[in-house]
Every structure is written in C-alpha cells, then in structure tokens.
Structure 1
Amino acid sequence: MKATSNVVTYLRNSIAASSNPKIDFSQGKYHPIKINEIESSQVLEGTYQVLFEEFWGDMSQDKKDKTTEINVLICPKIAKLDIVESKRTEANLEALTGLFFIPATLDKLGRLAFNKEDGKYPWFPREFLEPMIEPLLSIGSIAEIDTFLSDNIAMLEKITTWPEYLAFIKFFYQFVTSSDFDSESIIRHNNKILLTEDMYIFLDSTINSTFHIMDLYNKLRKDGVSSALLDNFLELKEKPSVPLVENNIAQMQLHTGQMNGEYALSPSQREVMNHMHQLEGGEILAVNGPPGTGKTTLLQSVVANMYVDKALKEEMPPIIVASSTNNQAVTNIIESFGNIEKVGIGVIEERWLTGINSFATYFNSKSRPATGKGYQCTDNQGRLFVKEMESDANLESSKAKFGENFSKYFGKAYVSLEDSRRTILKKLRTINDSKNEFLCLVEEIKLIIGDNTHINEYIRNLDVQIESSDRVAMSARKRIEDWKSHYHKLPWVVRLLSPLGLFSSKIKNHLQQNIESGESRLLKPPLVLNEIEGTYSQLIYDEVCKIDELHKQKELIERLSKRWNEMLVSFKHLGIDLFGGTAVGIDLEALNQVLDSKVRYTEFWLAVHYYEARWLNGDQKCTENQKGKTFKGVLELYFNRLCMITPCLVMTFFMLPKQFKCYVAPNNYEYMYQFIDLLIVDEAGQVSPEIAAPSFALAKNALVVGDVHQIAPVWNLTKPLDTALAISSKIIDCKEGFDQLSRIGVNCSESSVMRVAAKACRYEKFGKGLFLSEHRRCYDEIISYCNDLVYDGNLIPLRGSCKNVETKLDLPPIGYKRISSSKSVRIGTSRQNKEEVKVIVDWIISQFYRIERAYPNEKLDNLVGVVTPFKAQAILIKRELKSRRFKKYEHITVGTVHTFQGAERKVIIFSSVYGSEDGCYFMDASPSMMNVAVSRAKDHFFVFGEMECMDFPSTSASGLLRSYLIGNEIY
C-alpha cells in the first residue's frame, strides 16, 4: 500500500498544481483595483460596469437581465520586473507576473462576495511553489499550503461574509509566504521578492473542474483505503504477459447477451469478450481500438453480457459506469446506447416502459442542455429523468404498456408483475440452457467431423466410404476365386507335387500370368496361392472392420444430427429460427455470428423485460423519506434500481466521484469504494492519468478502451514540474528516475490512461493489451495510409477497395487539389491561408449539391467536413462559407481534429494551410493528428493546399501522405 499511497500523493499533487495555474492576464482585459476597494468589498462604479459589459458581450437583453452576479479574479500581488533583472531574464518572468489570485463574485452594484458554491479558494501558482526542478521564483511550498488547508477546513466551512473571507485570505497568505499581506515584498530563503503597488481585477475564465477529483484524492490519502483495482493501475512495473484466451465452446457458453442484433462481433471483438470472462478481482483489461474497429459495438456487448448474467442468477443488475474526460466522448456513448437498431423479431425489441428511450443515463454537470438533446439526465439524488420515471403517472402508464406487450409476446393474459417476472426468467433460462446444450452438441459433433464440414455432407462422405470399402471387399473375394480357378488349371500332378518343391518355376510362371494392373503393389513375389489367399483374406477383414466402424460413426452422427434437428425445432418453439433453413457447418466463428444475432440478442431483451418487471414491482425502491438522500444504503438502493432499466451510467471523470459520495454526518462523508462492478474508460488515449486514477478506487474491475495514436490528452504540467512532484512524493529519487515513469506511463506530463492501463494488463497482442483489428469505416485505399503511418499493418481493412464498387462521385478515394502559395500568415500562435480558404469554399459550393444527390438517404450533416491543423483557418473558412450565403453551410462541420474526434463524414477536406516555404511542422510533429484526420473519411479524403510543403521522405506523416496523393489530382 505504501507504493500506491506515494503514487496517489503524486497524482493528487499534480491535480493541485494544474488547478492553480499561472494566469496570463496581460493578454486579456484587466482593471486596476485599490486595496480599500478590496477591504470594503465595494468596487468602483466605472470598473464593475465595464466588467459586466465584458461579460455580457453580445448576449440578449433577456439574458443580461437575468445575470445577477459574475465571477471575477483579483490579483493583489504582482512581482516587480526589477526583482533582480538578470534573474528575471533567466527565469523568463512575464511583464505582469501574478503571485496570488483571489476568486470572488461581483454583483450589479459592484459588491464583492465569497463564492462558496464553486468550491474555489485563493491560490498561489504552482510554478512559484517548492519543490521545483527549474524554479522561476519561490514564494512558498506545497507542504505549507497542504498543512494550512488541512488545519483550517472548519474555518473554510464557516465562511459566509466578505470580512470572514478577507481574514482567511490574509491568514493564508501570511502562513505560506511568511510575509504580512500588507508588505511590499516576500522574503524567502534570504531572497527578497519585491512587489508592485498595482492590483488588478478581471473576469474569471478558470473552471474548477477538478474539485470532486481532488476531494476523492484527499479522502483516499486520509483514509488509507486499499483498492485492488487502484493498486493494479498504479503499480510501478509492467505486468508480465500470459497466453491469450482461445475462442472455444466454453467461452461461447459464457457469452450470454448481445445488445446489437444487426451486427455480430468481429473476431477481435469476440477475443475481448472472451478475456472479459476471465477477469479476476481488481483486474484491468486494456483494448487498443483504432478508428472504425467497432469500439461502440464492443462496449454494448460487454454491458449486455454482464446484464444478462445477473438476470440469469436473479441478482441485482451490474453497476457499470462508462466515463471519459470530454463531453463528446461520453455523449457518443449515450447516443449509441439510445440507437439500437431493431432486427424485426417483434414486440420483444421494444421497451415495455414509458418515458425511456435509452439504455444509458447521463450524470452530467449541466442537466438542461443535455436534456434538451434527448439524453436521460439525472444525479445521485434522483432528479430529472429518474424523477419523471418514478412519477405516479409514468408508473401507471408503464404498467399498462408492460402488461399489453407481455400478453402480445407470450400469447397469454397478463396476471401480475411477479407472474410476468417468473415467466420471463423461465424463458430466458430455457433459451440460455438450450444455447449451452446446443454448444455441447456442437462440440460432440466437432470432435467427429472437424470444423467446416456440414453434417449431411459428412454422412454422404461416410456412405461413399462404406460403399467404397464394400466394393474393395467384394473385389477381394472375387480375386480369391479367380486365383483359385487359375491355379486349378495346372495339371493335377504339378499341383500334387508342388509341396515337395517340384515344378516351382512352372507354378510361378503360371500364377504370374494371372496378375492384374495395380495388384503388384499388394502381392509380392514369389507368388504362392496360400499367401495370395491370405493377403486378400486380410484385406477383406480390414475392409469389413472399416465398414463396421463407418456404420458406427454413421449411426452416431445420425443420432447427433437428429438431436441437432430437434434442437433447431426447440429453438423455433422459443421463437428463434436459428439458421433459417440454411445448412451450416461447425465453424465456431460462423456459429458465433448466428448466436449473436439470434440467441444472445433475444436473451438481452428478455433480461431487459425481466428487470423492467422488477422495477415496476418496486424492487429496491427508495421510500419517500429516503428520496434525495445520499446515505450509503440509500445510494445502493438508488443505483441498483436505476441500473435495472438503464444498465450503463455515463459521466465524465470530473463528475464521477461526486455521484458515489455518501453522507455520514455533518462535515463527515465517505465514498462507495469498490461499489462499481465495471468501470469503462472510453477514449482512454485522451485521458491524463491523474484525472481518472482516483475513480479506480470506486470499482472492482476496469475495461479501458482507447488509441494512443489518436488525440493525446491536454497536459497541464511541464515535465520539470512533473519531475519535481514525483521526487517530492517519493516515487522516484532523482531527475533520472523520471525516465522509468515515462517508460511505464505513470506520469502527468506525457502519458494517458491508455498507456497506464496497457502496462497493468496481463495480455499482449501487437503490444501490451488487446487489439481491435477489423476496420469497416473507410475504403481500403484511405485506411491503408493510417495502417502504414501508425498501426504497423495490423489493421484488417474490410470495407473493400473502391475499385470493386461503383463510387457515387466518380472521384478518387484519396486525392488532392493543388493550391500554389509560398507562405501562410501567422495569427498569434495559429495560421491562415486566405487563398486556400477561397478555393475550398468555391469547391464546396460547386460540388455540394452533386454530393447531396450522390447520397440521397444520408443526413446532410454527415456529408462534408473540413479539417485543418489551425483554429484561425477554421474560423476563416466558416466565415467565408457564411458570407457567401451558401444555404447549406450549417451542415458543414469545420474545425481542428479535436472537433472530429469520434465522428465520420462521406467526404473530408483537409486544409493544410502551409505554403511551399513553410514546411509541414504541425503535420509531421504529430502523426496522430493526420491519423485522426484521414480516418474520418468514409469515401473520400482530399488535401487542399500546397503539395510542395510536404516532405519527400515517405517516413514522415506528410511525406507518406504525399506518396498516396501523387497521381490523384482532382479539379
């Protein structure tokens, strides 16, 4: 636990450091404020009016009227430029270097107040706090801040007024800096840091998104909680690999549920499912999922399988939480769980409750916008979706709908919820038992006939073999008679004296005259009648034995065939036409596909209705007095009940700890450690380890899915600061020790949850973790670029080549439009290329209607996207599309690769921006960016720009792309 405790401290301190940023307010709008304004909590009228105007911007009057207060920051301590001029240059201090920031609210009358609701408190930028590897300047230490906050929690809780807040601010400042708040300098380690008299106030654009994560970290450290999953995740060495699990009958039997009946699992998806069955307590399964390889289908299958398993055992549903860091990733999950295509097997495919449309519930921070998108939003107090579902009116309408659909499906009168529950469970278990019995039969048959032969074909082969052996035996009998007849043609005296060895030459010559073609291999000289007869007698015996054995096999396989046909009839009685009259071999993959779409899909829906019956019957329902409470026992009831009807709970890691936080007593709470059965991390390659790590303590197992070759996390720490935190937390001894953290991925400045999880996974396929191989999104010509660029050829393209189909646009799948330009224009840290913008917009306007006609059944939003490395270029393209009054411009997505993460379009245009003299630094510095950009295109990927900016060596991202583009110019 000691090692884990140190790593927890390190990650917690990384969060603290990134939560207390050094704000560059010199580039924004800031306004002077005097100390007497701060002391009196009254800002001058001219200042607060300007701040409100800045906040309002182009806001509607209605929204302006509703704005009663705004969030502001006060910076009362700024370092003088001449602290020591040579040191300032060395430390690279900025002209306005704020050392202390005070968050507050400001109302329309200019009154300052403490903003307790946001949980934000004054802070010192982490760059100026010890320990540090490459210091700017030192005004205090992390240890002093931690000590102060730990010792003054009660004081924090009691603050309600501005004077109390101001007293806390001054006390805090003096404790950390060892300097008086009114002093004009800070003295630290005999170094004197001079401060200006200036103070500033400006709008607060920071977001304290890590508040709940930090709270869980603090609780973990205080309680010293031991969690097998968290220990596994934070282990500072790579887990040894073990052999992969084979796909066999036993694994097929363990797979019980499939949410999607339209598409069966691919071989690599099934491989993941097989390994999920083998998870032990505290284990992490890492899955590398390149674009278009079916991560969504996989997640649906994992959830469905666990859900059905629990229903079969009559247990509480599994608690499954799917999480990531950005809203786009989690809403992609929510949308996929709400868009389950029906396959036409009747009323069983419908929800038998009213007011529900998805198998996922969204625990988001801002409920109203998400609710407006049709998401089922709630929190751990049962607001919104849960409140509506639990209303008397919805319960009544749900009971009516359930009874009606139950009667339709089972063809009998609805009696009661308990009777329905038992009936549904009985059918579910019958189907699952039939599936397992059928698979046992398959294994028996497979042992006899092998993998790919059909039963009837095998029986026909047996008949052919029996007939052949019978012919051989009959022929042997005939030849014995022939040989005897030929021998008896010799004179009787020759035959009489032959035992004495006389006339042997004559007898030999006589017998040789009777040999037939092919018989020389069976009969060896010298030919003797007795030996000839013995050879043929043995042959007859062997063939008769073979015939007997073949008859036994035939009788056995016919019995098994009879059982096979009886089982197909049995499945039909259960409403499942397994093969639809098609002859099927004993290939396990082919059988699995049938079982996915027919049996496991039906099992999932029966489990849905089983849990709906329990939910309607009031199982795990909170009392009126318990509703809205967060006691541990109440939350257990709440989550068990909610997961009956929505088996996947979706939330960001910023909100996850809050939802599993339990009230114990005033100022006392605890977390539901190891309560979540499965934590699913999606887009794990985009999640920095310190953001997700504490949530692992709340779960038993984790499935981590992502791709390190797509967009990387946004890291908030520099490597020197990260190194300092690792040393101070005692997980490394010196700067050089950080190399080991880099190798295993446990760091906060250059890693991701995907890398850490891969290290902790005991399986390996093309590197640590499993790998989804089958790609179905893009034409082979498009995805081949990504395969060559980052996946070492391990992707298996299954969409096919565009050469094998009649392309709708008669354009190459990957091509370019040359736009001559020598240089792009810098816009701050971004770039623009106006000539490129004009050509792109011209092409879109001239071609969009042609594209629209080519895909008449496709939503307009899914047709064309424009990707560019630079925000400034994206803004210019959007502005140009709008200014040209192109009616469909709202249907064209324009942005950087981050805009398109998880998305796809029929046509992707890549605006490279660079001129011939610029090079392609941004493209070549991050192959993952080009991997994401190209893999968004289903049918066509076109580069618009100056080809000469791209490298000639095909080893770089731009050079490889150039090699794919040559010869494919579009006009």
Structure 2
Amino acid sequence: MTLSLSGLLNYWRAALLDSKRHIDPDSLSLHPLAFGNLRNGQLERRLTATLWAEAETGLSRRERERMSAINLIVAFQLLQPEYRHSAISATMDRMRVPMWLCLQVTREGKLLVSGNPGDQIIVDRAVLAPASGVQTFSQITEVDDYSGSNPPPADGSDWPTFWRYADQMFTSLFGEPADRFAPRHHVNLGAYIACGTRPADASKAIRKVYDTLIDQDDVPAPLLQRLINPQEAKDVTGIAENAALKGRHLGQMSGDFPLNRSQRQSLNAVTAVADGEIVAVNGPPGTGKTTFIQSVVASLWVERALVEGGEPPVILASSTNNKAITNILDTFARASLPTQHPLSASPLIERWLPEVTQYGLYLPSKREVEKGIRPEHAAAWCHQYGQPWGGLPGSMENDSYLQGAKDFWISRFRDWAGQDATDLKEATETLRELLQLKASAMKAALTLKDTTALLFDGRFPTASDIARLRAVIDQDESRSQTLRECARTALELSHGSLLEAIFSWVPAVKRRLWSRVHSYLDAQNLADPAWTWKTFLGSATLRAWLDDLIAKHERALDRKKEAVANWSNWLHALQPILAEDVQKEIAAKPDILDERLDTLVRPELFHLAARYWEGRWLIEVDAATRSRDKTFTGRDRDACERRWRRFAKLTPCMVSTAYTAPRLFDYYKGSTELLADFIDLLIVDEAGQVPPQVGSALFALAQSTDRRRYAAAGACLGN
C-alpha cells in the first residue's frame, strides 16, 4: 500500500502539536486560587508569599534581588472524577484541566501576561476529541477554528483585555464559563495555581520542516519518501564479501580490535546498497553498534579524501535518547591507538591543530548551551541568524588562532615527514598522495586475494601451500621437457625404416609400427589404453595426439604458475602497508588479513585523511579570512553548505538531537528554507525509541546525490 506523504505529514504535525498542548497536573505543586482574584488579576498576599518562597528556594540573595516577577501556571479549574469503581475508572482516575494560563506575578501579587497573549493559553489536548478511551469536553478542530477566527490581543495588552479573551474562549469551547463548568462524572474544584512555565516547544523546528514539505511540492525529500513507502525489506546479512566491498572499508578510528563478523556484515550492507536506501542495524547493548558507526564514518571520510579537490561528507548522527547522544560523542572524542601499536609514537596520530582533540561535533540546543557543554565534547552553535558560530568554530575561525595553527600544523608535518614543505598546499598533497598509495595497495591486495582464491577453488593458499605448489611446478616443468623428448622419439619410431614407411598401410606393418610406438609410450606412462593398432593412422595423427597431450600439460602448468604469481603479487601489494614480520604472519595465515588491516592499516588511512582534511581546513579558512568571505555568517544556500563542509573537515561526525538538528540545517532565500537533500549520511541511533513524528523530519534533510555512491543515505540503529 502506498502512503500519502502529505497525509502523513499533516498527521505527524498534529501529533507534535498534541504533545505541546498538554500539562500533567500531577507534575505541579498546585495551590487553590479564588476565581474572583484570578478575574481581577490580583492574588491575595498569603498566596503570593507562598509562591514567591517556592520560586526563590535555592537562589542566592543577589539572584532573589534581581527578580521582579516569577512564572506561574494557572488551571482555570481542576476537575476531579466523581467515582473510581466503574468500567471507565481506569481512564478517569486522574485530575483533568481543560485550560491553562501561563502568567507572571509580581511581589505585590499583580498578574502579568508576558509575550504573545495567544501563546499563554493552552487548551489541554487530553480533554479534546478525537481521543481514545477517555471522556472529552470539546474538539481540537473547534480550538483551531476559534483561534483562527478570533485573534488574540496584541502584545502588551492589559490584564482585563487578556482575561476577557481567555474567558470568552473557554465559554465558546466548553459551553459554560469556567467557574460554572462541571462536565458529567466530574466535580469542579475551582481554579488552582503553581510555580512553573509552559511546556517547552521542542518540536517547533520539526513542525517547520513538515510545514515546508506540505506547502512546497518541489522540495526534494526522496529519502523520506523511501521511509514511508519502503520496498520489500531484504536481509542483507547474507551479502557475499568481495574485494569491492572490503575495498570501501577504508578507515578505522581505533586499532584496538578488528571488526567482528556481525559488524563486518553491517558495514558490507551499508557499502553495498544503492544511494537513498535505508539500512536497519539491530542488536542488544554491547554488540558493537557504536563501533560500527565509527567504521562507517571513518571509511566515508577517507574515501572522500582520495578525490582530488573533493569535499568531506556531511554526516549527522541523531537520536531522541540523550544517553545515545552522549555515547556517540564519547566514541568520537578521540581516535587513540594502543601503546603497542606501530603508530602509537608517530606524530601522525595526533591532531595537528591546537586545542582540538575530538572527531565528533555536538550541535546543542540553546538550553543545552546555557546549561553548559562538557569540556571533553566539541560543540558548535548559532542561536541568532547572521552571527558567527560559537563553540569550536568560534574559537578557531579567526586571524589570531589561524596564524598559530598554520605554524603548528607545518611543524607537526615536518616532524612526521622528516622534510619541509613549501606551503600548506604542498604538504596536504603529500599526505593525499601517500593516502592514495596505501589505499590502492590495500585494494589491490584484496582484489588479488579474491582472484587467487578462485584459482584454488575458493580456498586461499598459505605460504606452505605455495611452497609445495612451487615444488610441483618444478616437477611439471621437468615433465614438460620429458614429454617433448618422448614426443620426438615416438614420432621417429612411427616412421620406421624406409621400407616400413612405404608399406605402412599393410596391416602387418601397421601393427608392427604401432606395437613399437605403443611399447615406448607405455614405458613412459604415456600410452592411451583406448588406442589400438587399428586407430594408428601414422605420424600425423600421432603428432596431433602428442601435441594435444603436451598442450594440456602446459596449460595446467600455466595455471599453477599464474596462481603462484598472483599470490606473490598479493604478498608484494602488502609491502607498502604492512611490516615484513606482519606480511610473513599473514602469508602463513591468510584468514587474518582483514583483522590486520583493521588494526594496522585502516587506522593509518584514517589519520592520513584526518591530517589532510586539517590542512584543507587551514587553507580554506585562511583564504576566507583574507577575503572577508561571507561563509562565516552568510545565510544563502552556498554559504551554509560550505560552512557545514568546513565543519566536516575538522570533525567527520556531527551529533544532534532529533529536535535540534532540523532547526540548524536551513538557509535564507527571501525566507528561511529547508536545507533538504544535503546530508550525505544520516545515522539514527536507538531508532526504536524515536517516534516517527519526531525522527521523520531528519530524513527530509538527507539524501546522497553523488552518483559515485559514497554511502547509503540512511542507517537506523536500535536495540
């Protein structure tokens, strides 16, 4: 069944609005409020003192002195169920509040309305139809219709104006004024008040994505289309490994452990599927899903570095689970190698930019920034359009940092390479050339391993097997020489004397010549048992038979030589990427090749790419600062895309919650537009915990458009 995108978008949008329209009364410390005081906008002295005491708890004297008003939430009335022992008791065993007001109160007890008056009124979704299994008092369509036809008072309106609007709205929606409203099976306990603020509108950016897709038919969202109308699911764990798939596994951030079988299968699945596909990776905690994310990200980052003048991929990892976000950030905090690793003491594995250690970039919400970012996490934020980004980019994209960073990077390059470079461009190109050399050698080794295995019926030979095969080849070459000598002798015997040659057609002579040749060939173990004197037609037939025998032998010999040559070339291909002792180890046990590539070669490729991208970042930012390029604050699509690519040169994986990310990936073109069809790889972690109305907006941002198939556009991970 094909689902309607517009229908689902409207449904998801409504679901998000529902969550915004509800406050749980049990979560508040409620105090009774005389309805007359609420109508007049003035609280009694004792209640005011109680509310202020609650709000000031835990605050310093200076903080208390700065406060002129505190935030309140008012329940127009609290409805209590009349009874609990009935068929519907399970759905009525809780307090209900039809309407809430979000207000402020001064120390003198005066009620105030802050901001847009319409935003300070919440008609609780829990009392509106449609709803399943609960008694409702009005309909959500009536709320929307009333709001649409009765605009709220202007900002800054006085209390009587606001109260009149709120009271009329209540009466219109529920049929009676609030002080007299008592629906069936409920008792009106009157108005109540508590310290607190309206629920945070966390889904605003997500709804904006849906509004854009609903209003603009031409916004590309192919990955979202695939999400809601997927093709028949395929089990990708059975994808056969081959050199092409393994060759796209180009990077590992850590050299501690090789990938296990299930991780390798998952990586093969991501690299094997076409652009725009979605791969679901499932597994209980501790099975290596986060390490798998590292492998995908590292491989994609390296692969793009191999393209001359190319740009890094923009990869976003997201979730609604804060623990999952923290785990991903911790995973990308560093790319360390064990102390016994051959590269552990090399300058290559260190970052060549001052004050940068992380490989993940956290994109937090404004609230998270205000709470404080953990020092071990790199972060970037921009909470006001047209302003420079804060966090890691803000501390690095300036002249003072840049000059020191260029000198530091060149000095680290010199320490690693043992030679000077003319400039940044020459040094970065040196890194890329070495990266290409090693990546090509690894791919060649993997290809030769596959082709050689085909010559051995799928089983790749060990060094011992090749030694035995070389001994067989020596014997076969000697045998080849012997065959040629035997052929010459047999042909001479087939001619006989001049007289025998003249009368070779006579049966008795023919039998004698055949017997002579057959006896000789039989002594050399070359006679054909099916061959009789009657089939002996002379030297021409014998020559053809002997030539065919020699040709078959030499073809078999050539295949053995080809197998040995391929194996030798395979071993030779390992020389640029592995030490001699490791080559010998792999030659003895070829099955450990992937493990050694994971722990020794792929980490080196990752760090070569990382140093290369750092150099490219320095070159780009240096040029941008010199020309006062608008890329630092610009809002058009080109400036925004270049900014994200620049961030990706420093940190291959960007991490943000599913609520925050949709707000960040936009641009300005007369109005704020969605940066759709941009993210190269979207990773949704703990996907089973992400509601579809929340997570689906991310899929509108992601879709690989590069036909070289760097990676699938979507990967979902979950327990």
- TM-score, reference length from structure 1: 0.60
SS across alignment from 1:699: coil
Give distance in 2, aligned partners of 1:333 and 1:117.
Answer: 38
Counterpart position of 2:144? 146
Give distance in 2, aligned partners of 1:368 and 1:80.
Answer: 39
Q: How far off is 1:43 after superposition? A: 3.2
Q: How far off is 1:9 after superposition? A: 1.8
Aligned CA distance change for structure 1 residues 589 and 59 (closer, same or farther; 3 Å): farther
SS across alignment from 1:413: coil
Aligned CA distance change for structure 1 residues 474 and 647 (closer, same or farther; 3 Å): closer
Counterpart position of 2:717? 706
The 5 A counterparts of 1:221-620 are: 221-224=214-217, 225-235=219-229, 239-241=232-234, 244-313=238-307, 314-342=309-337, 343-345=341-343, 346-365=346-365, 366-367=368-369, 369-381=371-383, 382-449=389-456, 450-454=458-462, 457-458=465-466, 460-464=468-472, 467=475, 544-545=550-551, 547-553=553-559, 555-557=561-563, 559-560=565-566, 563-564=569-570, 566-569=572-575, 571=576, 576-577=578-579, 580-584=582-586, 590-619=592-621
The 5 A counterparts of 1:447-846 are: 447-449=454-456, 450-454=458-462, 457-458=465-466, 460-464=468-472, 467=475, 544-545=550-551, 547-553=553-559, 555-557=561-563, 559-560=565-566, 563-564=569-570, 566-569=572-575, 571=576, 576-577=578-579, 580-584=582-586, 590-619=592-621, 621=624, 623=628, 627=632, 630=635, 632-663=637-668, 668-700=671-703, 702-707=713-718, 710=719
Runs of 5+ consecutive residues of structure 2 not aligned to the other structure? 384-388, 490-505, 516-521, 705-712
Give distance in 1, aligned partners of 2:154 and 2:331.
Answer: 42
Q: Deviations over 1:690-714 (max 9, x none)?
A: 221222212116534434xx5xxxx
Give distance in 2, aligned partners of 1:156 and 1:461.
Answer: 92
Give distance in 1, aligned partners of 2:249 and 2:465.
Answer: 29
2:169 corresponds to 1:169: no
| 8 Å CA contact retained: 2:683, 2:717 | no
Aligned CA distance change for structure 1 residues 444 and 160 (closer, same or farther; 3 Å): farther
Give distance in 2, aligned partners of 1:364 and 1:424.
Answer: 33
| 8 Å CA contact retained: 1:469, 1:543 | no
Look up the equivalent residue of 2:459 and give its one-letter code: D
| 8 Å CA contact retained: 2:432, 2:608 | yes
Give distance in 1, aligned partners of 2:667 and 2:168.
Answer: 32
The 5 A counterparts of 1:211-222 are: 211-222=204-215
Aligned CA distance change for structure 1 residues 242 and 160 (closer, same or farther; 3 Å): farther
Counterpart position of 2:493? none
Give distance in 2, aligned partners of 1:88 and 1:20.
Answer: 27
Aligned length: 677
Q: Deviations over 1:113-161 (max 9, x none)?
A: 445599964222323212234341322x2223334556678x5894677
Q: How far off is 1:459 after superposition? A: 5.0
Give distance in 1, aligned partners of 2:548 and 2:53.
Answer: 103
Give distance in 2, aligned partners of 1:431 and 1:117.
Answer: 61
Aligned CA distance change for structure 1 residues 586 and 541 (closer, same or farther; 3 Å): farther
SS across alignment from 1:679: strand
Q: How far off is 1:164 after superposition? A: 6.4
* 401-410 or 129-138, which deviates more: 129-138
Look up the equivalent residue of 1:567 and give its one-letter code: A
Counterpart position of 1:100? 99
* 296-305 or 469-478, which deviates more: 469-478
Give distance in 1, aligned partners of 2:156 and 2:313.
Answer: 41
Give distance in 2, aligned partners of 1:599 and 1:371.
Answer: 34
| 8 Å CA contact retained: 2:249, 2:295 | no
* 6-15 or 201-210, which deviates more: 201-210
SS across alignment from 1:18: helix
Counterpart position of 2:496? none
Give distance in 2, aligned partners of 1:420 and 1:392.
Answer: 21
Give distance in 2, aligned partners of 1:35 and 1:467.
Answer: 108
Q: Deviations over 1:267-294 (max 9, x none)?
A: 3322222222244443211111223221
SS across alignment from 2:390: coil
Counterpart position of 1:43? 43
Counterpart position of 1:924? none
Aligned CA distance change for structure 1 residues 424 and 142 (closer, same or farther; 3 Å): same
Q: Deviations over 1:416-436 (max 9, x none)?
A: 222223222222233333333
SS across alignment from 2:700: helix
- TM-score, reference length from structure 2: 0.79
Q: How far off is 1:652 after superposition? A: 1.1
Q: Deviations over 1:570-614 (max 9, x none)?
A: x16xxx537624253599864333333333322222221222112
Look up the equivalent residue of 1:257 and give its one-letter code: G
Give distance in 1, aligned partners of 2:326 and 2:412.
Answer: 30
Give distance in 2, aligned partners of 1:462 and 1:626.
Answer: 63
Q: Deviations over 1:831-874 (max 9, x none)?
A: xxxxxxxxxxxxxxxxxxxxxxxxxxxxxxxxxxxxxxxxxxxx
Aligned CA distance change for structure 1 residues 553 and 320 (closer, same or farther; 3 Å): same
Give distance in 2, aligned partners of 1:416 and 1:649.
Answer: 30
Using CA pairs under 8 Å that are at least 6 residues apart, name the structure with larger relative contact order, 1 or 2.
2
Give distance in 2, aligned partners of 1:88 and 1:565.
Answer: 77
Aligned CA distance change for structure 1 residues 536 and 596 (closer, same or farther; 3 Å): farther
SS across alignment from 2:193: strand
Give distance in 2, aligned partners of 1:334 and 1:424.
Answer: 27
Runs of 5+ consecutive residues of structure 1 not aligned to the other structure? 482-497, 509-515, 711-971
Q: Deviations over 1:147-180 (max 9, x none)?
A: 4556678x58946776665465346435544x46
Aligned CA distance change for structure 1 residues 215 and 105 (closer, same or farther; 3 Å): farther
SS across alignment from 2:188: coil
Counterpart position of 2:499? none
Q: Deviations over 1:772-795 (max 9, x none)?
A: xxxxxxxxxxxxxxxxxxxxxxxx
Aligned CA distance change for structure 1 residues 260 and 33 (closer, same or farther; 3 Å): same
2:11 corresponds to 1:20: no
Give distance in 1, aligned partners of 2:306 and 2:153.
Answer: 50
Give distance in 2, aligned partners of 1:335 and 1:433.
Answer: 32
Aligned CA distance change for structure 1 residues 121 and 6 (closer, same or farther; 3 Å): farther
